[in-house]
């Protein structure tokens, strides 16, 4: 894949051998940062009063986040070019599809801690803030490592293949929200009370400052996102090596997670073929990584999978998975099925 030339200002961006680093003007980074900050502020103000978010409200907000992501993608097309626009759209759609896995874990965490529905949006809001920071760190590290050691792409591919195996075998990771490392560290640092106190994270009991269970829930959400980053980061690096593309696409996918969760809450089990679709997507991205690394390290005659093909595969697989799920409802679970422990 030919590398585009960069201006002096853009030369500071990480470079991945064998993949395009786009000529992204600094003002577009500023537009992106301002857009994300304004979007978070508007969302926080719109939900400053704790309340139960119903389907219609969640669907409206989900439309806002999707529209914002696509509008920004249009800006990328216009300013940076067609290839960058296709990579952004592919990476955003990939992260959006992989985020469905997060929704099952959100439901598991909320059920484990018995989080009142009115407080769940506040938890996910702070979870999104943490995810934006941690994903940025992981993606920057991933781009830096791959730019120096192309062979690490084989490791990333192995991670995706293993994730595919786990999904198809329906292996349980044994995720216990109450015993996650983040929650255990929190309990060591500060006492955690047993009762929720509105949307407060800290209260005073007997003259000492203690955390409410809501803070423990945020810690569990952040811990879960770190786990999902193991799949997410290698997958998106297979789509693009440009720091702007991979981070902006991740950010807009993450911004829409809350609305998507509340829109699909109670209906997640309907999309029972989606996990198989995600497994196929992960395995496809794994093959893409292997070909990309082999093209660089073994022979330039080894073909790479272009971004438009990746985008088409993701769209088709997701469309077929959702359609089959709606046409063929899942069988009723046996009486002893622990649905709260289900994971995609």
The domain segmentation of the chain, as residue ranges, is 9-341
- What is the pTM assigned to this prediction? 0.80
**2-55: pLDDT as tens digits:** 333 333 333 333 333 334 677 889 999 999 999 999 999 988 888 777 778 888
Residue 14: which of 247, 226, 231, 234 has the closest Cα? 247
Kindly write down the DSSP assignment for every residue of 62-99, as one continuous string: HHHHHHHHHHHHHHHHHHT-HHHHHHHHHHHHHHHHHH
Q: Partners of 203 in the beta sheet?
A: 210
Strand partners, 211: 192, 202
CA 2 to chain centre: 28
For residues 183, 187, 191 and 194, what is the CA-based torsion angle, rounded to 10 degrees? 50
Question: Which CA distances in Å does 103 have to 123, 261, 303, 308, 330?
Answer: 13, 6, 36, 28, 18
Model pLDDT, residue 247: 93
pLDDT value at residue 154: 92
Instruction: State the pLDDT at residue 20.
Output: 60
Q: How many CB atoms neighbour CB 325 within 10 A?
A: 19
Residue 267, C-beta contacts closer than 8 angstroms, at least 6 positions apart? none
What pLDDT does 91 receive?
93
C-alpha distances (whole Å) from 142 to each of 21, 25, 164 are 15, 22, 21
What residues pair up with 210 in beta bridges, in sequence order?
A: 203
CA geometry: angle 101, 103, 105, nearest 5 deg = 80
Task: Give the H or E element holding residue 130.
Answer: helix 120-148
Contacts of 304 (CB under 8 A, 6+ apart): 1, 288, 291, 292, 295
C-alpha–C-alpha distance, residues 241 and 3, integer Å: 11
CB 245 within 8 A of CB 87: yes
Which parts of the chain sit beneath pLDDT 70? 1-20, 171-176, 178, 266, 268, 332-344
Q: Is 322 exposed, middle or buried (0-12, 13-18, 19+ CB in 10 A)?
A: middle
- pLDDT tens digits, residue range 220-262? 888 888 877 888 888 888 888 888 999 999 999 999 888 888 8
Q: Are 137 and 229 in contact (CB under 8 A)?
A: no
φ, ψ at 271 (rounded to 5°) = -95, 60
């Amino acid at each position: 894949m030919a590398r585009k030339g960069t201006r002096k200002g853009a030369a500071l961006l990480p470079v991945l051998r064998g993949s395009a680093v786009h000529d992204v003007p600094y003002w577009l980074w500023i537009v992106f940062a301002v857009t994300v900050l304004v979007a978070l502020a508007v969302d926080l103000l719109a939900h400053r009063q704790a309340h139960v978010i119903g389907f219609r409200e969640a669907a409206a907000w989900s439309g806002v986040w999707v529209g914002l992501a696509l509008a920004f993608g249009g800006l990328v097309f216009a300013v940076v070019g067609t290839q960058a626009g296709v990579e952004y759209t592919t990476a955003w759609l990939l992260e959006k599809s992989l985020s469905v896995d997060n929704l099952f874990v959100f439901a598991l965490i909320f059920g484990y801690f018995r989080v009142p529905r009115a407080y769940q949006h506040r938890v996910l809001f702070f979870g999104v803030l943490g995810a934006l920071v941690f994903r940025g760190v992981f993606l920057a590290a991933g781009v830096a490592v791959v730019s120096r050691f192309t062979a690490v792409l084989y490791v990333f591919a192995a991670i995706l293949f293993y994730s595919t195996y786990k999904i198809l075998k329906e292996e349980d990771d044994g995720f216990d929200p109450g015993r996650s490392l983040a929650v255990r560290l929190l309990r060591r640092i500060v006492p955690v009370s047993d009762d929720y106190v509105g949307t407060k994270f800290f209260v005073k009991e007997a003259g000492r400052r203690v955390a409410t269970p809501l803070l423990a829930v945020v810690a569990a959400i952040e811990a879960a996102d770190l786990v999902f980053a193991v799949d997410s980061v290698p997958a998106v690096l297979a789509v693009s090596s440009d720091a702007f593309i991979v981070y902006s696409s991740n950010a807009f996918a993450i911004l829409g997670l809350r609305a998507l969760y509340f829109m699909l809450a109670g209906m997640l089990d309907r999309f029972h073929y989606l996990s198989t679709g995600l497994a196929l997507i992960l395995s496809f991205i794994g093959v893409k990584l292997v070909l990309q690394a082999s093209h660089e390290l073994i022979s330039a005659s080894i073909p790479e999978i272009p971004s438009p093909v990746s985008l088409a595969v993701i769209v088709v697989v997701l469309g077929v998975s959702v359609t089959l799920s709606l046409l063929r409802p899942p069988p009723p679970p046996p009486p002893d099925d622990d649905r709260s422990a289900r994971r995609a």
